[in-house]
């Protein structure tokens, strides 16, 4: 379950320039009872979590987002006739398509007329629907590998993006995006294109969770090759931890992502913010692995590990956070300003764990 409620607004949620937005689920805030653990009990709990193996904790944190990533792109096998392919090219130039033609070309069509205030069809031209092309090649007149967004993506949850290789639809994705995001691409070392978008897991006042989803053209398939955090942001969760990680694609040959991140804590009233106990940035590069057909992060060459990145997910991952950042947390416990905030945080985590274990 996502822990999303009761966030204090210390840092405005950053909206990445390009992202795919889905409706965030509202989650009922957790409630916990005050338990008067002694300081020695809390330190013992802290030390015991630090000794746990990190991999099972990391796998648990990664499971949900990875599951979405692997199923977000739906394989499709739809060959267009030359006449329909010509009609599609003409529609791309016009940036709209007749509803009957759209249904004939794309098959099942879920976009309805209630996607904005004026009605989807009336907002373009009665009987037509929005259409936008994304070319994965410099020559936009060459329809080799490209995608087509169908529907008013800024208003309509039924909008879709269809991926083409020539006149064949090979995959489709939910295309809804309140911020008009566009799929981007780069050419992999094997000469095939990799496309990527941002997927929104949650967004609100002082909270955000977006991941980069990378998929690669592989014959007549679009396969998942990398799922990486784009933004993890919780400004004062119910449990007292403040997190921020923002990732930006800096280069594509090799793929290199810059990550800026920090952690701090707040008091029980979510008003007073303590000093940053972690405040850093790093570059992470990724290499193509032909055997697994994935992009593999070279975390050992950066300042942050994959498990540490996962601790910035908006998941119940506090044990992972304590485990992978045990050393800086231990140092911060010696700070008079941080110590009471961290002990309060540890108390909340222990209460939660004791409740789960009952």
Taking only the tens place, the pLDDT of each residue in 138-174 is 777 789 999 999 887 777 777 889 999 999 999 999 8
Hey, where are the domains in the chain?
1-72+186-358, 81-166
Position 11 confidence tier, pLDDT thresholds 50, 70, 90: very low
Could you give the CA distance from residue 320 to residue 313 in angstroms, rounded to a whole number? 11
Q: What is the pLDDT of residue 15?
A: 42
- The confidence band for 227, taking pLDDT boundaries of 50, 70 and 90, is very high
Closest CA to 257 of 288, 278, 282: 282
The token duo for 19 is 């992202």
pLDDT reported for residue 157: 75
User: What one-character-per-residue DSSP string does 139-167 give?
Assistant: -TT--SEEEEEES-TTT-TT-EEEEEETT
Q: What is the pLDDT of residue 27?
A: 44
What are the tens digits of pLDDT across the range 42-59?
A: 999 999 999 999 999 999
N-terminal to C-terminal alpha carbon distance within the chain: 18
Q: How far apart are CA 136 and CA 195, in angstroms?
A: 8
Distance separating alpha carbons of residues 134 and 106, to the nearest angstrom:
16
Regarding beta strands 74-79 and 128-135, do their DSSP bridges make them parallel or antiparallel, or are they unpaired?
Answer: unpaired
Residue whose token pair is 């045990």: 326
DSSP 59-91: HHHHHHHHHHHHHHSEEEEEEPPHHHHHHHHHH
Cα separation, 166 vs 145, whole angstroms: 6
Phi, psi of 93 (to 5 degrees): -65, -35
3-state secondary structure of 237: coil
pLDDT at 7 over 90: no
User: Under 8 Å CB-to-CB from 329, ≥6 apart: which residues?
Assistant: 46, 277, 322, 342
Distance CA 132, CA 95 (A): 6
pLDDT in tens, 332-345: 999 999 999 999 99
């Amino acid at each position: 379950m996502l822990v999303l409620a009761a966030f204090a607004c210390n840092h405005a949620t950053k909206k990445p320039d390009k992202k795919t937005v889905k409706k965030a689920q509202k989650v009922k805030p957790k409630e916990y009872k005050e338990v008067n653990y002694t300081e020695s009990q809390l330190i013992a709990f802290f030390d015991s979590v630090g000794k746990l193996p990190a991999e099972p904790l990391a796998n648990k944190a990664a499971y949900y987002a990875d599951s979405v990533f692997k199923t977000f792109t739906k394989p499709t096998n739809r060959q267009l006739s030359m006449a329909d392919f010509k009609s599609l090219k003409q529609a791309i130039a016009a940036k709209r398509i007749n509803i009957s033609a759209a249904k004939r070309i794309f098959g099942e069509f879920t976009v309805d007329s209630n996607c904005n205030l004026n009605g989807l069809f009336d907002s373009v031209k009665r009987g037509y629907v929005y259409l936008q092309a994304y070319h994965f090649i410099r020559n936009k007149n060459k329809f080799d590998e490209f995608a087509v967004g169908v529907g008013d993506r800024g208003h309509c949850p039924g909008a879709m993006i269809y991926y083409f290789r020539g006149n064949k639809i090979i995959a489709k994705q939910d295309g809804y995006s309140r911020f008009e995001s566009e799929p981007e691409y780069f050419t992999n070392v094997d000469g095939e294109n990799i496309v990527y978008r941002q997927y929104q897991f949650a967004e609100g006042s002082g909270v955000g969770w977006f991941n980069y989803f990378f998929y690669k053209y592989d014959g007549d398939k679009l396969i998942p090759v990398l799922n990486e955090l784009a933004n993890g942001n919780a400004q004062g969760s119910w449990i007292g931890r403040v997190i921020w990680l923002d990732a930006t694609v800096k280069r594509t040959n090799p793929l290199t992502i810059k990550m800026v991140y920090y952690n701090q804590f707040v008091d029980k009233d979510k008003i007073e913010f303590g000093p940053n106990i972690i405040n850093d940035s790093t570059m992470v590069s990724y290499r193509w692995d032909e055997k697994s057909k994935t992009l593999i992060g070279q975390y050992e060459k950066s300042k942050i590990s994959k498990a540490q990145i996962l601790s910035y997910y908006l998941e119940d991952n506090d044990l992972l956070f304590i485990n992978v950042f045990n050393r800086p947390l231990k140092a911060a416990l010696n700070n008079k300003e941080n110590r009471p905030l961290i002990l309060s945080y540890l108390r909340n985590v222990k209460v939660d764990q004791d409740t789960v274990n009952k």
